[in-house]
Amino acid sequence: MIRFKEFRDRWVDFCKRINKEGLSKGERGKGIGAEFEKYFFENVLSSLKIQGQKLVSQRKIRGINYKWDFLLVNENSSDMFEVDPSEVLAVFEVKAHGGYGYKSVYHLRDVFDSVERANPQIKIFYVTFRETDTYDRKDREIFGKHVQEYYRLSNSGDGVQLPPKAYFPNEWDRLVKDLSELR
């Protein structure tokens, strides 16, 4: 798996380039968000080699109205849009820059609770590359019992700083450890 310094430096370079392209804030945000999903998959998740499992993207868990960025499912799971909860090992929600507003965080917490009710064995991963201290504190409070499933890789300062104000390699190490324990 890629080392944190390389991961973060390449991502920040990409963000700096896209910020210079003259896109509107909305276009830039959507482009960065979609690109981060792809970047995270290629540099982190693609290195997961778990016998009998495969990664699928943009799928729902049957009975839960939420489309996940990635699911780690049984290898013989159908490729249907909705996956049976018994076939899911882990779910991944990845963000370039956290959520927008607390309403989305409350919604995610409720989704996490639904996943836990559907199959308590499913491991939840919520990874954000950067988040402000204010949102981080509130996110941790809202996520409550799910806070151990939250990985914040950098502090975005006022929200627009590139590079971010501070990096958290310990969070990266915890993420890598938790990924390596998936079985």
Q: What angle do CA 140, 47, 78 make, to 5 degrees?
A: 85
Tell me how many domains the chain contains.
1
Q: Are strands 166-167 and 82-83 parallel, antiparallel or unpaired?
A: unpaired
Q: What is the CATH number of the domain that holds 82?
A: 3.40.1350.10
Q: How far is CA 107 from CA 16, 66, 101, 103, in A?
A: 31, 10, 11, 6
pTM comes to: 0.92
**For residue 59, what are the domain limits?**
4-180
Q: Tell me which residue of 101, 155, 158, 148 sits closest to 126, measured CA to CA.
A: 148
Q: Are strands 53-61 and 82-83 parallel, antiparallel or unpaired?
A: parallel
Tell me: pLDDT of 15 over 70. yes
Residue 52 pLDDT level (bands cut at 50, 70, 90): very high
CA distance 117 to 103: 21
Residue 161 pLDDT level (bands cut at 50, 70, 90): low
Write out the two tokens for 169. 């390699």
pLDDT of residue 44: 95
